[in-house]
Every structure is written in C-alpha cells, then in structure tokens.
C-alpha cells in the first residue's frame, strides 16, 4: 500500500458510494425500477480486489454487483443507463441491476440466483488453465451462497482440478434477512472449506489495506497457475438486503459500530495520517466522484428507451 | 447399543448370506432366464456386512432411505424375498406391483421409506424423514444410505449442513466402494485425491465423521450404533464412511431391447486392467470372513452354518420360482389414477 | 363470515388455519419467520416453523422425506425459478414416488412460490414457468387469482395427498377481496366462471384473469359478451367447463402470462381442438407472453406481456370483427 494505490482505491470507493447513493434517489423517484441491492459499507472489498486485476482477468458477481462492476472498470454512464433501462445500458436495458455484464472489461456477469455464479467461474478458470494463460478468475458471493449445494460441488472440483480461481466471500452476516447462526453451525466461511485443504484466509472487509494485501498474495500465486484460494471478507451492508427492505432483523448497535468502521472513512484517515493526501485532496476525490455520477445520470437520461423489437432479435445468437 | 449375543451374531450372518444369495440369483437370472430382467439392476454383493451391521442397530420405529442399489435392505428387514424378486422381474405380486423395479424398492411397513434412482437425491429425503422423527419426539432415528459419489452432489452439502444445524436424528452412512460407476474416487473427489478418508468432509458441518471397515459387520454395528445412540439422545447427526468393495460391476450392461443383458466384470478389470485389485477384494470377501470368525469364536458350528446356507439356498430357489410363475400385471393397471395421485 | 383482506394475507391465513387444524403441517423455507416474534412462530413454535438456508435441493428433498414419513410440509420457495435449482426433487422425485411404489407411499407436500413478477425483476425472477410442470403426472398446480382462492386453494393444497406447486402471482399480492374466515377450501379441478357471456370464451389464469375481465368490459361496450373462465388449477385441469363454454360461444381465446410454446394455453388449445372441434366457429387464438426471456426495461417488459388491448383485439379477430391474421 502506498500513496498511489490508496488514492486509486479511494477514487473507486467514492465512485461506488456516490453511484449507489444516487441509485437510492433514482429508485425512490421511480427512475430506476425493479429489485436493487446495494453494497454501501462494503466498497472496500470490490475496490481492493478488482483494483489488482487486469481487464483480461474475469470477475463474476451476484445480485449485489454495482460495486464489483464499477471497480472492474465498467463505464459508470452505461451502468447507470442500464439501471434506468435505457438502450445505451451495458446490457441494452435487458438485464438491469441484477444482471450486469461488461465483457470488454472482464466483468463476465452478475447472476440473480444465489451462488449461481460459482460454477460459471470454474468454467472460465478452466479455460484459462487450458490456455496456459496467466489470467485469473475471481468470483464474489455472499455467506448465504455457502449453504447451497453448488457451492460444495464447485469447491470440490476447483480443489481437485487445482483451478486458478479465487473465491471471494463477502460475509455480511446475513443471508438476505436471516443471520448466519440460523444457517450454519460454522461461523467462518473459510472453515467450511477446511476439509478441501487449499489456502484460505479471513480478513476484515472494512480494512482495505488488509484486503489488498491478502488478495495480492493469492493473486500472485493464481497468476502462476495455482489455485484455488478463498478470501473471506467480513463486511456489513449498511442498507437493507434490497432497497425497500424494512430491516426488522437489524441490530441497531452493530449498525452504529459498522458506521464507525466505514471503509471509505478508515482509508481516508489512513491516507491523511500517512501524508499521502491532505484534506483538500480528500474532498476533491469525493467531489470528482459525485460529478462523474451526475454526468452518468445525464448520459442515462438522454439515452432512449430500447426499441421493443430487440427483445426478439436477442433470444438466439445468430 | 445392545450387546451382540450369539443368536444375534448368527442372525447377522444369516442376513448377509441371504443378501449374497439373492444377488447371485439376480445375476444368474440373466444367464438362466434371458429377457426376464429388463432395465438396470445394481447388486449389493460385497456390502452385506455394512448393510446388516447398520440395520442391526435399528430400534422399532426407526426408518431408512437408500439408493438404487437397494435389494439388501428389505431382505435384512424381513420383506419377503419372493415379492422382491417378483418386483425385479416386473411381476404383479412384486413388492411395488411391478411399478418400480430393481431401483425403487419400498416397504414402509418395515421402515424402509424408499430410494432415489438419482445419485444423492435420497439424502435430503432421509433428512426430512429425520425431521419427522424429531417432531414425533419418540427417540426414533433415520439411517440415510448413499454412495461415495453422492458426496459431491449439492444435496449432500445442503442436507448435512441442515441436519447439523437442526440436530436431526440421522446417521448418514456413506457406503464408499471407491467407484462412481467406472470412475475412481481419487479422480473426482478432492479428499480422495489427497489420500484422505471421505469422512473428513464432516468437519465442514461440525459433525463427527468416522471411517469404518464396511467388511466387518461388528465394527459397522458398533460405529453406526454409537452414532444412532448419539442421534437418539438429540445430539445430532454423524457421517459414517463405511468402506466396502462392490464385488460385481456397477450394474448389468445397458443395451437396447433385444440385446441379451449380463453382468460384465468389475470396472477394476474392464476399465483399469487391475485384476489383482479385484482378486484381493475377493480374498477379503466379508461373507466367508464373518463365517470363519463366528466359527472360530464358537458362536456358530460349521454344520449349522452349512444348514443355514442350505435354507437360504432353498429360500432363493423358491423366490426365483415364485417370481417366474407370477403373472405380469394387466397393462391397463399402468393407468391406475390412484397411483398417479393419492 | 367473509371480510376483505389482501391476497397475500389470505395465503398466510390458510397456512395458519391448517396448522391449527392439523399438527402434521410444518412450514419452512428461506426467510420464513426469522424473528421469534413472528405470529406463526408464536402460535406453533420453532419445531414446526423454521427458517432454512439457501439450499433448495435439501429444502424440497426434505419435504419429500417429511411427507413420506407422515407429515404435510409447506415449503416456502419465494420464486418459482428457485425450484429450478432443485428441479429433480420437484418433478422427478415428489410426483413419481407414489406411482413407482405401486401406491404404497404418498407425498403430500406443498411447494409454495411466487411467479409472474413482471415488475422490473428482469429475466430470472419473473417467469410464468408453470406450463412445464403440466407434463409431470402426479404433480398438481394451483394458480390462485383472487384472495378467496388464495386461501381456499392453499388449504386444499395442504390437505391434498400429493405434491402441489402452489404458485402465487406476485402482481396480485396486494389485491383485496372477500375471504371467508376460519376453515375454507376451494376444490382442485373446478374452474371458476368469472364472467358469463355468450359470444366468446376467454380462459385466463392468475394475473391475466383481471386483464381478461377488463377486456371483457371494453368488449361489452361494443356489444360483445365474453365468458371469462379461470381454471384455478392446471393439474387437474377442468376441461369440461371450458368445453361446455366453447360449445355455447363457439369461440376461444386463451390468455397466458407464460410463453406460447410449451405453455399452459397450448395444452388447453390442444384439448379443445381435439374434443371441441365441432363447436368451434373460428380458429382458437392465444394471447401469451412472447417467446423471449422477460426483459428488464419497462417498455420492453410491457411489450412482451399480454394486456387488455391485446386480449380485446384477439377477441375481435376471432369474431371476425377484424381480419384473422397471425
């Protein structure tokens, strides 16, 4: 971690934060529709993991995908247009928030069914292995996916075939609305994969330098063709499972604690303490992100709604 | 867990012999009566000790579910072998009236709730039955049987997590014969590839995982019995890996109608050319091994053992004859609406 | 006594009433009553009301096992598509075990899920996928379109001795309607005639029933009297009511929120074509969703779905008020 890295990560995190806060407003005013899942409070993981990757590395995400797509380099104006259902959206308005894809930047896609992305990531990792490429696949998933059968099927195969894939679990302690202790007797996801013998670790997702370091070690090994690895990041989603969730299951005390451990605030403090940035520069990073998001909203609003006829054109590849 | 007295030991030996002889008759049917068995059969020869050792732990009201390799369980539970053979021959008096066949034996009156013909899919069903036992609160236990291959099915992972979380009264008995049809475990299982027993998987569900010699019925009885006692006390599930060697091929050959069916040689030979592995398994055959042990410790006189063998031989002669003579069901019975919907 | 409550509350009420009536009914699934304050937990305890992990194969497979062992599970699956994760248990285990056992066992289980949520949920959470389940004898399918039916069909589903896919149309959850209090059942296999008419028969399910009724009102203004039939269950399917209506009207328009190919309306069309051909005065017409994955963007989503205008237009076509074209 140095000044350049920290500044880069702060930029990404602020872009995600501003994007998602803007989406909250747009959802309330019905300019974004459907089901929206936000990662506010968890931006550090997306920024630190994707910040280390190249465009030709593959990332898979789930329903809570905005941050991963932004951090992987997907253009925010086209992401915003997608959320607003416009023809210039990354998926031309056919996918929406839960199904973002930007293949050009290696964001291979988000899937709407919990854990459905895990076997897909294995396929991509196998491709890289067969091509003897130094490309790495990263798959993000939540703690809720760990209890799904395809998680175990994927873990066994990845371990057996030693695939260059890094499983990144964002363990926010809730599978949708249910806490982890109601889902499993094993608290840490990294312990669930213990029988399979590959390298794994658990870090605090709010500690961005720790995520950066831990992921970096796995990434270097995976570039050399080793794998799999599992990085568990303990995070907290500061908003509900989805926008509109009444969150009756939430613990107010934990919420306060996590607000204090906000990854953006923490990394900003660290950068100030180290003298990497001053207050003015910190404010500028936030302001730049805000302006970029406003520009993205303008872009999206100007984009027309898609021609309905494209629905029929895109069912089969031609 | 009850002590195994001589009567019980002899009972166990008798059941093992009955299963073996029954499976031999199924196999011989392909030669002696071509065309009588259709479809796919899977034999339990080699697993008799594991089956009987497990089932010997059952108390009244206990239940079990199993896989398509299912002939052995109802035999040991006391289901009439005539009706089992008739089912495999597709006859009217078959255990399931000819609707199920070899892979789908069911005898709920004896606690045998059924099987799944799809790998791993019986595991959640057995888990559900265990939840039922927990709800009844009468200390009943469910035995869930499946193979080593099933442990790579998502259903295994999902079920063991839930059973552990809810402390369900179930013993998961994995009969590890080291082959998924013709694929060896180390080719498809990360733990096997690392030279580890498959029972280590239990650690992912914070439940005990134990490996036992499935060729030794007393060891199986003690291991499954301890797990069943634990389950009965409300302390939750256990994964028992019972290592067995299947003495026949995975199943009879698969061929279109008109091509005579038969049992090929074991995959160790046909796929891997490893006759020595198979012959070593034959030398360790659990049925003669258990007979020798009982005779040696004085629990069973050799003459009595021969008598039992003769009785079993006659029982299976009768089963085959009954099944051959039994009529086929009326074709119209296939449309029985009360079987489509309860 | 009936009083007005929302569709979704009617579903919950049926579960509560049936759990009171029969101690063998258990209810569980993802996010079912995570709080101990939940009224069902308060009433029946944690043994019978459970929250389960995201493990569809185990959840549905356990329901089969519970049912084999004498219980009547209701599994909350939230979205019909989540059944696809465990398709084997839904179609290859639950409905087949009784038959293959020669009638020895039964599998009384309810797979409760939502469908048809064409409200910006994009391609994986909106499917009207019940058509595919119609090809599995042994599996029943209930599609309530009113709050009263939501209650009555759920109660019947729980009491039925077979696996039932009980599918809630998520577009209807806040619709209010009169619902009888206490025990209330609606029989399976009995279609409801939602509106009588002599000129054309419209068959619709779930959310499209309301669309068909609205279209019928428009058509009434033009002097066309449509009869609107809601089959309520697709397995069993009340073909007799549909056939006798077609005998009266001579015209049939099928409305389906699902796709055209392999869908429910295709099955109904085949039945009427075979058994009611001589009653028909014009070809059967279908107003279905297009054969595409439901798109996210709102204008496209609306484009692929049936609506009142499309239904009314198709009715005019079959009556010869407009040219009969594809």
List A residues 114-133 in contact with C (Cβ-Cβ < 8 A): 114-115
A159 to chain B: which residues are within 8 Å by CB? 190
Give the pLDDT of residue C325.
46
**CA dist., res. B104 & res. B106, Å (int):** 6
* Of the candidate ranges A108-122, A124-138, B64-78, C237-251, the one whose mean pLDDT is the lowest: A108-122
**Which chain A residue is nearest to residue C32, measuring alpha carbons?**
A178
Whether residue C123 and residue A176 make contact (CB cut-off 8 A), yes or no, is: no
Whether residue A193 and residue B204 make contact (CB cut-off 8 A), yes or no, is: yes
Q: Do domains C2-180 and C192-318 have the same CATH topology?
A: yes
Give the pLDDT of residue A201.
97
Q: How many CA atoms does the CB half-sphere of B292 hold within 13 Å? A: 8
Topology of domain A3-297, per CATH? Answer: Rossmann fold (3.40.50)
Q: What is the mean pLDDT of chain A?
A: 91
Burial class (CB in 10 A: 0-12, 13-18, 19+), B21: buried
Residue of B125, B135, B342 lying closest to C61 (CB–CB): B125
Give the pLDDT of residue C32.
87
**CA dist., res. C118 & res. C290, Å (int):** 13
**CA dist., res. A142 & res. A126, Å (int):** 23
> Which one, of C265, C247, C242, lies nearest residue C314 by Cα?
C265
In angstroms, what CA-CA distances link B100 with B249, C21, C51, C64, C102? 22, 34, 34, 17, 7
Give the pLDDT of residue B140.
97
ipTM, 2 dp: 0.89
Give the pLDDT of residue A66.
96
Domain C2-180, CATH homologous superfamily name and number: Thiamin diphosphate (ThDP)-binding fold, Pyr/PP domains (3.40.50.970)
The ranges assigned to domains in chain B are 6-325
Beta partners for C6?
C176
pLDDT above 60 for C277: yes
C62 to chain B: which residues are within 8 Å by CB? 124-125, 127-128, 131, 159, 162
A219 touches chain C (CB under 8 A): no
**Which chain A residue is nearest to residue B198, measuring alpha carbons?**
A195
Residues of chain B short of pLDDT 50, as ranges, are none
C55 to chain B: which residues are within 8 Å by CB? 157-159, 161-162
pLDDT above 60 for A11: yes
Whether residue C290 and residue A112 make contact (CB cut-off 8 A), yes or no, is: no
The ranges assigned to domains in chain C are 2-180, 192-318
Per-residue pLDDT band for C268 (boundaries 50, 70, 90) equals very high
Give the pLDDT of residue C119.
83
Beta partners for C79?
C114
Tokens of B202: 């239990």
List C residues 37-56 in contact with B (Cβ-Cβ < 8 A): 47-48, 50, 52-53, 55-56
Q: Are B144 and B56 in contact (CB under 8 A)?
A: no
Pairing between strand B63-67 and B142-147?
parallel
A152 touches chain C (CB under 8 A): no
pLDDT above 80 for C322: no
Per-residue pLDDT band for A269 (boundaries 50, 70, 90) equals very high
Give the pLDDT of residue C323.
56
B204 touches chain A (CB under 8 A): yes
Planar angle of CA B7, B9, B12, nearest 5 degrees: 110
A94 touches chain B (CB under 8 A): no
A152 touches chain B (CB under 8 A): yes
Q: Read off the pLDDT of residues C6-56 as tens digits, 9 standing for 90 and up.
A: 999 999 999 999 999 999 999 999 888 877 888 999 999 988 998 888 889
Domain C192-318 sits in CATH at 3.40.50.920
Whether residue B116 and residue C93 make contact (CB cut-off 8 A), yes or no, is: yes
Q: Read off the pLDDT of residues A79-89 as tens digits, 9 standing for 90 and up.
A: 999 999 999 99
**CA dist., res. A248 & res. A255, Å (int):** 13
Q: What's chain B's length in residues?
A: 342
Identify the chains in contact with B, defined as 3+ C-beta pairs within 8 A: A, C
Q: Are A111 and A141 in contact (CB under 8 A)?
A: no
Q: Which of the pair, C324 or B56, is modelled with greater confidence?
A: B56
The C-alpha of A98 sits at a distance from chain C's nearest C-alpha, in angstroms, of: 8
Q: Name the helix (H) or strand (E) containing C318.
A: helix C308-318
Whether residue B114 and residue C101 make contact (CB cut-off 8 A), yes or no, is: yes
**CA dist., res. C108 & res. A120, Å (int):** 35
> Which one, of B121, B142, B110, lies nearest residue B237 by Cα?
B142
pLDDT above 60 for C146: yes
Pairing between strand C233-235 and C252-256?
unpaired
Domain B6-325 sits in CATH at 3.40.50.970
pLDDT above 90 for C140: yes
Please name the residue that has the structure tokens 């996916």: A145
- In the three-class reduction of DSSP (H, G, I as helix; E, B as strand; rest coil), residue A298 is classed as helix
The C-alpha of B274 sits at a distance from chain C's nearest C-alpha, in angstroms, of: 36
3-state secondary structure C6-52: EHHHHHHHHHHHHHHHCCCEEEEECCCCCCCCCHHHHHHHHHHEEEC
pLDDT above 70 for A228: yes
Q: Read off the pLDDT of residues C188-239 as tens digits, 9 standing for 90 and up.
A: 999 999 999 999 999 999 999 999 999 999 999 999 999 999 999 999 999 9
pLDDT above 50 for C326: no
The ranges assigned to domains in chain A are 3-297
**Which chain B residue is nearest to residue A161, measuring alpha carbons?**
B190
Indicate the angle between helix axes B154-165 and B122-136, nearest 10 degrees: 20
Give the pLDDT of residue A109.
86
Whether residue A99 and residue C124 make contact (CB cut-off 8 A), yes or no, is: yes
The mean pLDDT value for A300-308 works out to: 94
The C-alpha of B99 sits at a distance from chain A's nearest C-alpha, in angstroms, of: 31
Residue of B152, B165, B194 lying closest to A197 (CB–CB): B194
Indicate the angle between helix axes B81-88 and B6-32, nearest 10 degrees: 30
Whether residue A99 and residue C122 make contact (CB cut-off 8 A), yes or no, is: yes
Q: Name the helix (H) or strand (E) containing C235.
A: strand C233-235
Give the pLDDT of residue C6.
96
Return the DSSP state at A304: P
Give the pLDDT of residue C106.
92
C70 touches chain B (CB under 8 A): yes
Q: Read off the pLDDT of residues A27-43 as tens digits, 9 standing for 90 and up.
A: 999 999 888 999 998 99
A92 touches chain B (CB under 8 A): no
Which residues of C form the catalytic set? 125
Tokens of C231: 């089959």
In chain C, % helix, strand, coil (3-state, to 5) comes to 40, 20, 40
């Amino acid at each position: 971690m140095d000044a350049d890295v920290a500044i880069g990560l702060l930029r990404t995190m602020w872009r995600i934060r501003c994007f998602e806060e803007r989406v909250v407003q747009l959802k309330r005013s019905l300019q974004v529709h459907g089901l929206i899942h936000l990662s506010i409070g968890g931006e550090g993981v997306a920024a630190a993991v994707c910040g280390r990757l190249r465009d030709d590395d593959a990332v898979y995400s789930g329903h809570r995908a905005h941050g991963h797509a932004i951090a992987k380099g997907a253009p925010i104006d086209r992401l915003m247009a997608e959320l607003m259902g416009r023809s210039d959206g990354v998926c031309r308005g056919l996918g929406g928030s839960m199904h973002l894809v930007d293949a050009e930047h290696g964001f291979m896609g988000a899937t709407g069914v919990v854990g459905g992305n895990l076997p897909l990531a294995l396929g991509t990792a196998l491709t890289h292995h067969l091509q003897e490429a130094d490309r790495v696949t990263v798959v993000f998933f939540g703690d809720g996916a760990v209890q799904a059968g395809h998680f175990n099927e994927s873990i066994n195969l990845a371990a057996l075939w030693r695939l260059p894939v890094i499983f990144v679990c964002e363990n926010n302690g809730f599978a949708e609305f249910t806490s982890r202790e109601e889902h499993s007797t094993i608290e840490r996801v990294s312990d669930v994969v213990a029988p399979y013998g590959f390298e794994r670790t658990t870090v605090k997702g709010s500690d961005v330098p720790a995520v950066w370091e831990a992921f970096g070690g796995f990434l270097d090994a995976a570039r050399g063709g080793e794998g799999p690895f599992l990085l568990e990041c303990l995070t907290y989603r500061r908003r509900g499972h989805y926008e509109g969730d009444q969150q009756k299951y939430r613990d107010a005390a934990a919420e306060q604690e996590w607000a204090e451990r906000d990854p953006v605030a923490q990394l900003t403090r660290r950068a100030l303490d180290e003298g990497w940035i001053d207050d003015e520069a910190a404010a500028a990073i936030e302001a730049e992100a805000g302006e970029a998001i406003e520009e993205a909203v303008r872009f999206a609003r100007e984009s027309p709604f898609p021609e309905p006829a494209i629905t029929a054109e895109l069912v089969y590849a031609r | 867990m009850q002590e195994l007295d001589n009567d019980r030991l002899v009972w166990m030996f008798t059941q093992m012999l009955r299963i073996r002889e029954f499976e031999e008759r199924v196999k011989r049917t392909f030669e002696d009566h071509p065309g009588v068995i259709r479809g796919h059969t899977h034999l339990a020869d080699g697993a008799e000790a594991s089956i009987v050792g497990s089932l010997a732990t059952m108390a009244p009201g206990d239940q079990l579910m199993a896989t398509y390799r299912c002939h052995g369980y109802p035999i040991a539970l006391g289901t009439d072998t005539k009706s089992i053979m008739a089912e495999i021959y597709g006859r009217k008096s078959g255990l399931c009236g000819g609707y199920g066949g070899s892979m789908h034996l069911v005898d709920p009156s004896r606690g045998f709730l059924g099987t799944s013909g799809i790998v791993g899919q019986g595991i959640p069903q057995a888990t559900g039955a265990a939840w039922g036992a927990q709800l009844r609160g009468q200390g009943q236990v469910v035995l869930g049987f499946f193979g080593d291959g099933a442990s790579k099915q998502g259903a295994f992972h999902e079920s063991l997590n839930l059973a552990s979380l809810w402390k369900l009264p179930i013993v998961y008995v994995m009969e590890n014969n080291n082959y998924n049809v013709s694929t060896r475990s180390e080719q498809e299982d990360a733990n096997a590839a690392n030279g580890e027993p498959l029972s280590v998987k239990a650690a992912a569900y914070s439940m005990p995982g134990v490996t036992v010699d499935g060729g030794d019925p007393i060891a199986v009885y003690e291991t499954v019995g301890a797990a069943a006692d634990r389950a009965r006390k409300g302390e939750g599930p256990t994964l028992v890996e019972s290592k067995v060697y299947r003495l026949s091929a995975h199943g009879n050959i698969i061929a279109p109608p008109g091509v005579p069916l038969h049992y090929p040689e074991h995959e160790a030979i046909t796929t891997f050319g490893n006759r020595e592995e198979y012959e070593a398994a034959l030398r360790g055959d659990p049925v003669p091994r258990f007979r020798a042990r009982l005779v040696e410790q004085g629990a069973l006189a050799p003459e009595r053992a021969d008598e039992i063998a003769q009785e079993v031989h006659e029982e299976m002669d009768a089963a085959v004859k009954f099944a051959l003579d039994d009529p086929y069901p009326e074709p119209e019975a296939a449309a029985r609406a009360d079987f489509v919907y309860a | 006594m009936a009083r007005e409550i929302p569709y979704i509350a009617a579903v919950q009420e049926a579960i509560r009433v049936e759990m009171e009536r029969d101690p063998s009914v258990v209810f569980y699934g993802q996010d079912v009553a995570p709080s101990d304050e939940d009224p069902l937990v308060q009433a029946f305890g944690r043994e019978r009301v459970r929250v389960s992990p995201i493990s569809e194969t185990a959840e549905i497979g356990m329901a089969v096992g519970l049912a084999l062992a004498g219980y009547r599970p209701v599994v909350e699956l939230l979205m019909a598509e989540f059944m696809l994760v465990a398709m084997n248990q839904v179609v290859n285990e639950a409905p087949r075990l009784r038959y293959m056992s020669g009638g020895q066992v039964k599998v009384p289980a309810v797979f409760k899920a939502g469908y048809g949520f064409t409200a910006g949920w994009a391609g994986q959470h909106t499917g009207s996928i019940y058509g595919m389940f119609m090809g599995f004898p042994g599996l029943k399918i209930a599609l309530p379109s009113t709050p009263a039916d939501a209650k009555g069909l759920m109660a019947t589903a729980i009491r039925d001795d077979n696996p039932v896919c009980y599918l809630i149309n998520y577009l209807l959850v806040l619709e209010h309607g009169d619902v009888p209090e206490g025990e209330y059942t609606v029989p399976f296999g009995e279609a409801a005639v939602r509106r009588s008419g002599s000129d054309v028969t419209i068959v619709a399910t779930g959310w499209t029933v309301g669309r068909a009724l609205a279209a019928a009102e428009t058509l009434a203004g033009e002097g066309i009297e449509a009869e609107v039939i809601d089959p309520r269950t697709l397995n069993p399917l009340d073909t007799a009511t549909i056939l006798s209506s077609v005998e009266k009207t001579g015209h049939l328009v099928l409305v389906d929120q699902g796709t055209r190919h392999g869908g429910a309306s295709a099955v109904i069309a085949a039945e009427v074509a075979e058994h009611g051909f001589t009653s028909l005065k014009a070809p059967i017409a279908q107003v279905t969703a297009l054969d595409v994955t439901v798109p996210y963007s709102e204008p496209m989503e609306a484009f692929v779905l049936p609506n009142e205008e499309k239904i009314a237009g198709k009715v005019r076509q079959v009556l010869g008020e407009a040219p009969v074209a594809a």
